[in-house]
């Protein structure tokens, strides 16, 4: 049961991220753990790509900012 709920939450988070909602809205609608959000956003892969390209990408910066804002709300 718990696994199904996690999958539903992940799908819900992905839909909301596609709509580019704020961290506050994301928290209100899903309340997913920040580590899970980190995995969904795929921040590790984005960070590695940014290091390889040696330039900052606006999308990547926005995703990192959204994640840090979400972590602050989670506390």
| pLDDT tens column, 23-71 | 888 888 888 888 888 888 877 787 777 777 777 778 778 888 888 898 8
What's the number of domains the chain is made of?
Answer: 1
pLDDT in tens, 9-28: 788 888 888 888 888 888 88
- Residue span of the structural domain in which 30 resides: 2-74
Neighbouring CB atoms inside 10 A of 60's CB total 17
d(CA 70, CA 38): 10
CB 50 within 8 A of CB 56: yes
| CA 67 to chain CA centroid, nearest Å | 5
CB 24 within 8 A of CB 57: no
């Amino acid at each position: 049961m718990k696994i199904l709920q996690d999958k539903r939450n992940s799908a819900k988070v992905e839909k909301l991220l596609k709509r580019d909602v704020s961290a506050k809205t994301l928290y209100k609608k899903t309340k997913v753990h920040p580590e899970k959000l980190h995995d969904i956003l795929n921040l590790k892969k984005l960070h590695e790509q940014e290091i390889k390209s040696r330039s900052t990408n606006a999308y990547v910066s926005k995703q990192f900012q959204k994640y840090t804002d979400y972590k602050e709300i989670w506390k």
